[in-house]
Amino acid sequence: MEKEKLYMNQMTQQKLYKLFGLRKVSNNKILNNWLSDLPSLNKEEITISKFYQGRLLDNLEVWNEQELSLGFIGPILNLVKFTIPYRLNLFAQRPLSGVIDNYELIGKPDGILASGFQEPEMPFFAFQEYKKDINSSGDPAAQNLAAMLIGQQQNEDNSVIYGCYVVGRFWYFMVLKGKEYTISKDYSTTDDGIFEVVKILKALRSILFKKLGIEEEIEKEEQVPSK
């Protein structure tokens, strides 16, 4: 029997609750651990963060979604250097689908961190971005959760799936474990919050590297003196 198709861009948090039983909880130990005890930034990371923050401040009111992604979000994600060839890569706008319960969930998240080289295989982190506040274009948290739900289904060990969505200057971080998800407070990238965002992304890199058994890549990087 053919499964009913559902599309990520049509998802709301209410629909995810009714269809899949996802529940939002206010306190989550996994998210708290991720967002606490953050790594420090080196001089290069601070300098680059400030540069792209300046670009954001100059263009926030005029950039469309793609310009925001190309001019700010992409450089910040790449600053953290997630990619390890053949082990972990950052993919954008790749088709993602999964059969969950009686539905086939389909979409193209703005970004995912997944295993694989030329094609994404197993997603660990999903990313969604919007230029302005939530409006008629949908619910970015729910759309991102839909991608995270597919990632959960594709991870055989039912491990934690991480996520993030951006609304203008504000970044929100998420975790999904089982049927429960939690969303962080907002982090503004037009003030010193940008350094917190980069630190949180660095902490995510450490989490994913350890999950994949490539912690030594972090140690090698840390041994290289910053210029």
Residue 227 inside a domain? The answer is no
For helices 215-223 and 193-212, angle between their N-to-C axes, nearest 10 degrees: 130
> What pLDDT does residue 43 have?
97
Percent share of the chain, pLDDT over 70: 90
pLDDT of 117 over the 90 cut: no
Domain count, the chain: 1
If we measure between CA atoms, which residue out of 214, 222, 223, 219 comes closest to residue 89? Answer: 214
Residue 74 inside a domain? The answer is yes
Residue 193 inside a domain? The answer is yes
Q: Which domain holds residue 119?
A: 4-222
> What pLDDT does residue 101 have?
87
Residue 117 inside a domain? The answer is yes
Residue 194 inside a domain? The answer is yes
Q: Residues 2-7: contacts with CB within 8 Å, 24+ apart?
A: 3/99, 3/102, 3/103, 3/104, 4/102, 4/103, 4/104, 5/103, 5/104, 5/106, 6/103, 6/104, 6/105, 6/106, 6/146, 7/105, 7/106, 7/107
Mean pLDDT, the chain, as a whole number?
89
Residue 203 inside a domain? The answer is yes
Residue 137 inside a domain? The answer is yes
pLDDT of 134 over the 90 cut: no
Higher pLDDT, 111 or 137: 111
> What pLDDT does residue 216 have?
61
Residue 30 inside a domain? The answer is yes
> What pLDDT does residue 137 have?
58
Please report, as a single letter, which amino acid is at residue 84: I
> What pLDDT does residue 127 have?
93
Q: 90 falls in which pLDDT band (50, 70, 90)?
A: very high
Which tens digits make up the pLDDT trace of 48-87? 999 999 999 999 999 988 899 999 999 999 999 998 888 8
The predicted model gives 12-39 an average pLDDT of 95
> What pLDDT does residue 82 have?
92
Which tens digits make up the pLDDT trace of 154-187? 887 668 999 999 999 999 999 999 999 999 999 9
Q: 47 falls in which pLDDT band (50, 70, 90)?
A: very high
